Amino acid sequence: MLALFAHPLSSYCQKVQIALYERGLPFEHRLLAPGEAENGATFAAAWPMAKMPLLLDDERAVAESSIIIEYCDRLPSGAPPMIPNDPATALETRFMDRCFDCYVMTPMQTIVSERIRPSGHPDAYGVDQARAALERAYHWLDVTLAGRGWAAGDTFGLADCAAAPALWYARHIVPFDNHATLAAYHARLEARPSVARTRVEAAPYWTMFPFAGGG
């Protein structure tokens, strides 16, 4: 049995969970949270960097969300892989995955960090840069996604697993409703059963996220 050390609120953990649900791979969710000392100790021993998520396959530890998903593509499943076999499509899939992680998730997290930063230590310049970076990403994605059903083409895959949590959180920080193509893509993501499942699982923890306007 696979064991996923994760927290339902974490965007990168959601990314991996979506892939596992898509491929129908059973796994045990090992919650990383205060009060879960045993899980925390096992996690820290297996991955000294202590960055979730972490997948344990028997004694083998696999870290980093994109690598975990690629590793899971090698496991038996009746579902299509999250990284297509076609080399050109696989390259586009990996590229779009990095774009969502680096150019949507990262600036979004910068703004979130500012909202939970201790008082007296503001970083207004960093937040302004992060907002500008998100706006650039939105514009580029709005153009790039035109004519595509999913992030890298016609098939749901790794990049969409990254996009779903990144865009869900980002839209609560810097809305993208004025980008019609991006907004429509986001709506398709939210209608996907695997994505909807992660929303339900994270719902008990929403109060921990600093939504704009408090919710």
Q: What is the pLDDT of residues 126-165, one digit of tens each?
A: 788 999 999 999 999 999 999 999 999 999 999 999 999 9
Query: What's the CA gap between 64 and 69, in Å, rounded?
Result: 9
State the pLDDT at residue 213. Answer: 42
State the pLDDT at residue 114. Answer: 73
State the pLDDT at residue 147. Answer: 97
State the pLDDT at residue 15. Answer: 98
State the pLDDT at residue 169. Answer: 94
* Domain annotation for the chain: domains and CATH numbers: 2-74 (3.40.30.10), 87-192 (1.20.1050.10)
Residue 8, phi then psi, degrees to nearest 5: -60, -25
Give the tokens for residue 124.
């207004």
For residue 27, the cross-strand partners are 2
State the pLDDT at residue 125. Answer: 67
From first to last of its 215 residues, the chain has per-residue pLDDT tens of 899 999 999 999 999 999 999 999 999 999 999 999 999 999 999 999 999 999 999 989 999 999 999 999 999 999 999 999 999 999 999 999 999 999 999 999 888 877 666 665 566 767 889 999 999 999 999 999 999 999 999 999 999 999 999 999 999 989 999 999 999 999 999 999 999 999 999 999 988 887 654 33
